[in-house]
């Protein structure tokens, strides 16, 4: 199983600034995933982060806007750059490891971002 | 990307009632996962299904992997107030590697 620590849990930011979100896992994982959940919506995958290589971004998401670091097998960061109010969302990291002995994907508790 | 159609979008039930929700797709999935999300939290895995036709239970929750591999349902029996939350289905396709596709979610409200 995996336990994920994600921070900050929430933040209110000024437009035009950037916020870096951290995700720490208690065990080594090959892939880490970053999601965005807009208000009242489902989860949308932003990118997949592998250690030692550049992240792979989904359609509609670009590295300049959402740079990702993956310095080791237990840690990753997602930066939301040059923020606008449309970036107000919950951002979640996830790993391909289950909980309680059940295979699946475990999620962090999310970062609730409000851009004003 | 591939869409998962989840229904119903919301449900309002009385405590003690049973609940059923489902996800369908036009494409085949190899794995189905069901999650619950409470306010201010990330999704928590409830049940994972790996084979067509598989029926799996977790307490009052039962989920099935459709035999066509294009659908899955989740049942909650004898609902209680703490069942309130948003339930998401998620699936893995052979062509998508490890990238999950999520349904739109079912908002469940349980009246005591």
Per-residue pLDDT at A103: 78
Instruction: Look at A85 and A104; give whichever has higher pLDDT.
Output: A85
| Closest B-chain CA to A46 | B99
Q: What percent of chain B has pLDDT over 70?
A: 98
pLDDT tens profile A1-18: 789 999 999 999 999 999
pLDDT tens profile A20-31: 999 999 999 999
Q: Does residue B1 surpass a pLDDT of 60?
A: no
Per-residue pLDDT at A100: 66
Contact across the interface for B33 and A105, Cβ inside 8 Å: yes
CA torsion through residues B6, B7, B9, B11, sign:
negative
Per-residue pLDDT at A104: 85
Alpha carbon distance A63, A18 (integer Å): 13
Give A64-85 as a 3 state SS string: CCCCEEEEECCEEEEEECCCCH
Give which of B7, B43, B59, B89 to mutate to test A binding, by max A Cβ within 10 Å: B43
Per-residue pLDDT at B38: 95
Q: Which of residues 2-41 of B touch A (CB under 8 A)?
A: 33, 35, 40-41
Q: What is the mean pLDDT of residues B93-112?
A: 92
Band (pLDDT 50/70/90 cuts) for residue B2 is low
Instruction: Please report how many Cα atoms fall inside a 13 Å half-sphere around the Cα of residue B24, on the Cβ side.
Output: 4
Q: Does residue B88 surpass a pLDDT of 90?
A: yes
Residues in chain B, how many? 112
pLDDT tens profile A77-101: 999 999 999 999 999 999 988 766 6
Q: What does the mean pLDDT of chain B come to? A: 94
Provide the 3-class DSSP secondary structure of residue A28. coil
Q: Does residue B97 surpass a pLDDT of 90?
A: no
CA distance readout (Å), B11 to A92, B21, B102: 25, 9, 19
Contacts of A43 in chain B (CB under 8 A): 43, 88, 102
B92 touches chain A (CB under 8 A): no
Per-residue pLDDT at A41: 93
A43 touches chain B (CB under 8 A): yes
Per-residue pLDDT at B98: 85
Contact across the interface for B42 and A103, Cβ inside 8 Å: no
pLDDT tens profile B20-67: 999 999 999 999 999 999 988 999 999 999 999 999 999 999 999 999
């Amino acid at each position: 199983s995996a336990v994920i620590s994600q921070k900050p849990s929430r933040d209110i930011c000024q437009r035009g600034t950037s916020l870096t979100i951290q995700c720490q896992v208690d065990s080594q994982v090959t892939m880490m995933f970053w999601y965005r959940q807009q208000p009242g919506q489902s989860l949308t995958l932003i990118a997949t982060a592998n250690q030692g290589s550049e992240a792979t971004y989904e359609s509609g998401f670009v590295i300049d806007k959402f740079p990702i670091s993956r310095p080791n097998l237990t840690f990753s960061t997602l930066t939301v750059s040059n923020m606008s109010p449309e970036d107000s969302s919950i951002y979640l990291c996830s790993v391909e490891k289950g909980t309680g002995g059940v295979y699946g994907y475990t999620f962090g508790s999310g970062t609730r971002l409000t851009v004003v | 990307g591939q869409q998962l159609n989840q229904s119903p979008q919301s449900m309002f039930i009385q405590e003690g009632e049973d609940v059923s929700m489902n996800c369908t797709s036009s494409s085949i999935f190899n794995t189905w996962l069901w999650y619950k999300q409470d306010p201010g939290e990330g999704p928590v895995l409830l049940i994972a299904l790996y084979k067509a036709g598989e029926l799996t239970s977790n307490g009052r929750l039962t989920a099935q992997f459709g035999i066509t591999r294009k659908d899955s349902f989740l049942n909650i029996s004898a609902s209680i107030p703490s069942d309130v939350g948003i339930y998401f289905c998620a699936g893995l396709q052979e062509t998508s590697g490890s990238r999950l596709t999520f349904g739109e979610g079912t908002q469940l409200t349980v009246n005591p």
